[in-house]
Chains A and B, each alone.
Chain A
Amino acid sequence: MQKIGVFVCWCGSNIAATVDVKAVANAMRSEPGVVFSTDYQYMCSENGQNLIKDAIRDYKLDGIVVCSCSPRMHEATFRKTAMAAGLNPYMVEIANIREQCSWIHKDMPEGTEKAMVLARAAIAKVKKNAPLTAGTSPVTKRALVIGGGIAGIQTALDVADAGYEVDIVEKSPTIGGRMAQLDKTFPTLDCAACILTPKMVEANQHEKINLITYSELENVSGFVGNFTARIRKKARHVDEKKCTGCGVCTEKCPSRKGLNEFNMGLNTRGAIYIPFAQAIPNLAVIDTSNCIHFKTGKCGICEKNCSAGAIKFDQEDEIIERKYGAIVVATGFKPIDASYFDEYAYTQSKDVVTSLEFERLMNAAGPSKGVLVRPSDGEHPHDITFIQCVGSRCSHDATKGKEYCSKICCMYTAKHAMLVREKYPDVNVHVFYIDVRTPGKNFDEFYRRAVEQYDVDYIKGMVGKVTVEGKKLHVQGSSLLSNDQLHIYSDMVVLATAIEPDPTARSIGTMLTASMDTNDFFTEAHPKLRPVESPTAGIFLSGVCQGPKDIPETVAQAGAAASKVIGLLSKNELVGNPCVAHANELLCNGCSQCERVCPYGAITYVEKEVRGPEFRGVKRVAQVNEAVCQGCGACTVTCPSTAMDLKGFSNNQIIAEVDAICR
């Protein structure tokens, strides 16, 4: 028989005024299993706690019930008290007779009666409690950042500055990401490269940062503090230690078929190339699909011209396997495919471009060296039409576009319009918009400037169709304000295409068991209070992978994610919550239903040798990773055989409470 002690708190008059605490303590004395029951003015005071400790020792109590305020208030206090007296802290239950009894019931007999029921329920529960011990796991003091754009770079710099090792894995040959492709940035119009490249250099030179470029994540296992990542470092066919980045090979390469990714395919590059002048690391890479040597076995001009002897045609992919304590997702975005919106003639005319393509056309390092020309014939345009919300806010047709607002398009379109007018005052600029959304510091001022100082023709309305008519683009739209049908003959049309998560995000999310929304943006652990954490412990979110945002927001979130990573890596070990799910292997059917509802990916299945009175042999069973499980209990209800149960809130504990209340 268990020995249970009951401690009824007066909480001064807070409880004692409407609950006859002595009557409760007396009544509990006659409950089966209760060997000690008393009341005291302030159970949470030092004297009160000593009373509990003495009783635990004197009566050799196996469990205690404290009838007091809410467990949200003092459960932790009384658990410590129990522990100090040598009782397992999880052998404590609280009957909430203040918030849920004395404070809401005016009538003493009524309050007293309810307090007794609540006490009995807590006694019934504590009898079914089992001692629990929180597990600990060590923390590997190294972080992995997936994605080397501004989000990943900033997170890595902040974590590294705190003294922790950081690896950045980037799938393209250089870090820098989308921001490196931008010309100017809103609302200050400072040049993107001028503010980004120093950060790229800093990341490269930081002694704690290790760049793993031209590499892809292949697999991630483990859990918070103890992840193991397998990274495939693709062969550059260039010896990283020897290549000086002089660029001779890129000039001599006779193949000119590869589309220049950095310039959004607006021009071509050699089969051996350096993505752009400030690429980090500044190393050449061979695009084997266009390389004459790889196709015919001949050529080898780069090899002949490389004075450093860095060309290595026989280089092979390398697999890096490393342990990490924390993983930051910074996979970023890409513009959606504009060919879905062919009413704007994107595939029919080279002069219809996306905003990111336009960004390259305006950039001094771009294909036209920063001189704005029509891509079709290289002539100077005299009239440009911008169309906003192409693929954003597309709730009427979610198969084509995105339901969400891409957030950055209003501002970059204002920027483009302003830059064009600034550089080429002779060019007429029209902008078709649904709404102009400018919440942000100095954002609306910026947009007003475009309208008022730069005389950009903002038209509230939609464009129905763009057709190619000779050298002109016939833009047919409507103005909602003047209620006119408009026919504008432009030389160029710029589509403010929606942004979407990078296509690699989904597979990375699956590897990390990090949840995503229907748009493939990563889900945060709490939309308001934990915006930079994934619900999966140890996974953090930085930048647009979580949702559309501009550069300052990305940098702010990157820093926030870094501070969470630092908080995690600063611990030597993680103490788990012992109230976690547990699978009884003998009862487990192996059906995987629990695995599917677990929001944390804490459940895995293994083939295991199981021995029991009714079964002996190998079977498929669920295993809960206690370091990952957060104890919600979703799995327990999906389990038809009750093999899956939750410690601290077990089926038997809750049924005991139900029975006591309905007695």
Chain B
Amino acid sequence: MPVNTEWKPKIVAFCCNWCSYAGADLAGSSRLAYPADVKIIRIPCSCRLNPLFILRAFQRGADGVILCGCHPGDCHYSTGNYYARRRMTLLFSMLNYLGIDSRRTRVEWVSAAEGAKFAATMNDFAKTITELGENVKLGDLRCKEN
């Protein structure tokens, strides 16, 4: 679809408090820019991310949702990201199965030291979502055939 110059994607980034939120802070203190379309929600651990929140975001018009957490093996709570990894894999697969582009959902492991990775990830994700355009799919899902 033609890119609407007025349109700005809505991107929700869930970041775990210990690694990725700190990584985002580091990106900031290193002045590494990424699009303002990305809005971060702080959660204690990636395992706190309920699929409900992602669906809610899509329901309310988000165009992309990304989860960032500690690298597997480095979870502040030992095992949280392992559970998150399974849950997100299954959820993303289900959304894809329902016809929602798998590029609109992503998980990245970003440590507190990886400010550059955080910024690069957000730049890449925002670019992908911008190219995909408005989440027409979910818009359509919301629009029943009468």
A residues engaging B (CB < 8 A)? 70-72, 96, 98-101, 103-107, 110-111, 113-114, 117-118, 121, 515, 523, 525-527, 535, 579, 597, 599, 630-634, 636-638, 646, 649, 651, 654-655, 657-659, 661-663
What are the residues of chain B within 8 A of A118 when measuring CB–CB?
Answer: 39
When C-beta atoms are compared, the residue in chain B nearest to A111 turns out to be: B36
CB distance from A524 to the nearest CB of B (A): 9
Q: Which of A579, A631, A662 has the most CB of B within 10 A?
A: A662
CB distance from B26 to the nearest CB of A (A): 8
Whether A599 pairs with B79 at a CB distance below 8 angstroms is yes
In addition to A96-B40, A662-B60, 15 A-B residue pairs with Cβ atoms within 8 Å of each other are A100-B24, A100-B28, A535-B78, A597-B47, A599-B78, A632-B44, A632-B47, A633-B80, A637-B47, A655-B53, A658-B12, A658-B53, A658-B56, A658-B62, A663-B60
Whether A99 pairs with B12 at a CB distance below 8 angstroms is no
When C-beta atoms are compared, the residue in chain B nearest to A105 turns out to be: B36
Whether B41 pairs with A72 at a CB distance below 8 angstroms is no
CB distance from A87 to the nearest CB of B (A): 21
**Chain B contact patch, size range:** 35 or more
CB distance from A129 to the nearest CB of B (A): 14
CA distance A106 to B57 in the complex (A): 27
Q: Which of A104, A535, A632 has the most CB of B within 10 A?
A: A632
What are the residues of chain A within 8 A of B52 when measuring CB–CB?
Answer: 651, 655
Give chain B's interface secondary structure class: mixed
What are the residues of chain A within 8 A of B104 when measuring CB–CB?
Answer: none
CA distance A630 to B42 in the complex (A): 16
Q: A597-B83, A649-B44 are in contact. Are A637 and B10 (CB under 8 A)?
A: no
Question: Could you write out 7 A-B pairs with CB less than 8 Å apart?
Answer: A104-B28, A114-B36, A535-B78, A654-B53, A658-B53, A658-B57, A661-B57
CA distance A633 to B17 in the complex (A): 12
Query: Does B43 touch A at the CB level, under 8 Å?
Result: yes
CA distance A107 to B47 in the complex (A): 35
When C-beta atoms are compared, the residue in chain A nearest to B16 turns out to be: A632
When C-beta atoms are compared, the residue in chain A nearest to B15 turns out to be: A100
Chain B 22-57 interface residues, beta-carbon cutoff 8 Å to A: 22, 24-25, 27-29, 31-34, 36, 39-45, 47-53, 56-57
What are the residues of chain B within 8 A of A114 when measuring CB–CB?
Answer: 36, 39
Query: Does B133 touch A at the CB level, under 8 Å?
Result: no
What are the residues of chain B within 8 A of A658 when measuring CB–CB?
Answer: 12, 41, 53, 56-57, 60, 62
CA distance A663 to B32 in the complex (A): 26
Whether B28 pairs with A637 at a CB distance below 8 angstroms is no
B42, B53, B76: the one within 8 Å of A71 (CB)? B42
What are the residues of chain A within 8 A of B42 when measuring CB–CB?
Answer: 71
Whether B44 pairs with A631 at a CB distance below 8 angstroms is yes
CA distance A104 to B36 in the complex (A): 8
When C-beta atoms are compared, the residue in chain A nearest to B28 turns out to be: A99
When C-beta atoms are compared, the residue in chain A nearest to B22 turns out to be: A72
Whether A662 pairs with B62 at a CB distance below 8 angstroms is yes
Whether A649 pairs with B29 at a CB distance below 8 angstroms is no
CB distance from A538 to the nearest CB of B (A): 16
CB distance from A363 to the nearest CB of B (A): 41
